[in-house]
Amino acid sequence: MESLESIKSRIEAAVAGATVEILVNTSPCAEHSLILDREHGRAVAEFLRDDAELRFDFCSNATGVDWPERTETEKIKVTKEVDGEEKEVTETKETHFPAYLETVYHLYSMAKKHGPVILRMRTGNRTDDVTLPSLTPVWRSCEFQEREIFDLFGIQFEGHPDLRRILMWDEYQDHPMRKDYVEPDDYEYEPTPHDAVCAKAERHYPAEETK
């Protein structure tokens, strides 16, 4: 399989206006990924599927990630003048990251027997700008997985053929896989409540009056 750098370059040459970044994975698996701008996500996916050398014809997995607003700190070495001499000192660098939701797709080529290539797309935020293009029209295997992401994270997939909840009921208002999700404590509907579940449910009923 071509290197990720080569695939990135070919995407940018084939899809006018597409923005592609390589996200380096520093874990032992070292599975780096490509971050796509959502405006060109569908066009990039079609290129990866149809290109004669790449032929990524199968999406094995699609999942969601919730990234709340956060600030990360790291120790860095910098050279500074201290008492008239240049010295290497350690400083703390803070990097602020805005909140967003993300989808991650793992692609393989059954025809060429290579992969995976990992694609990522990010929403504008995690409140009122949560639309991403559906890749189900490109890889049919994404259909139920994008429905699950919609259900559990709240990402709206534009162009999905049947975007509706798949695990929670239709009237449910929340998204249980978000990191700020608050678990309800009214479990009266559970068929066999026990222990902590019973204790939570009891708070919703008045104590029996003693006679």
Tokens of 210: 């003693």
11 located within any domain: yes
Query: Does the pLDDT of residue 78 top 50, yes or no?
Result: yes
14 located within any domain: yes
Instruction: State the Cα–Cα distance between residues 201 and 169, nearest whole angstrom.
Output: 21
Q: What is the mean pLDDT of residues 117-123?
A: 98
pLDDT band at 211 (very low <50, low <70, confident <90, very high): very low
Residue 186: the pLDDT is: 61
DSSP sequence for 42-98:
HHHHHHHHH-TTT---EEEEEEEEEE--EEEEEEEEEEEEETTEEEEEEEEEEEEE-
190 located within any domain: yes
208 located within any domain: no
pLDDT band at 173 (very low <50, low <70, confident <90, very high): confident
Whether the pTM exceeds 0.85: the reply is no
22 located within any domain: yes
Residue 189: the pLDDT is: 55
Query: Does the pLDDT of residue 14 top 80, yes or no?
Result: yes
45 located within any domain: yes
CA-wise closest residue to 101 among 152, 66, 70: 66
161 located within any domain: yes
- Give the total number of structural domains in the chain: 1
Q: How does pLDDT run across 34-76, given as a tens digit for each residue?
A: 999 999 999 999 999 999 999 999 999 999 999 999 888 888 8
49-56 contacts: CB < 8 A, separation 24 or more? Answer: 49/138, 49/139, 51/10, 51/14, 53/2, 53/112, 54/2, 54/7, 54/10, 54/109, 54/112, 55/109, 55/111, 55/112, 56/107, 56/108, 56/109, 56/115, 56/117
pLDDT band at 208 (very low <50, low <70, confident <90, very high): low
Q: What CATH number is associated with residue 101?
A: 3.30.460.80
- Residue 186 lies in domain: 4-202
- The rounded mean pLDDT for the chain is 90
Query: Does the pLDDT of residue 210 top 50, yes or no?
Result: no
211 located within any domain: no
Query: Does the pLDDT of residue 191 top 60, yes or no?
Result: no
Residue 166: the pLDDT is: 96
Most confident of 19-28, 85-94, 126-135: 126-135
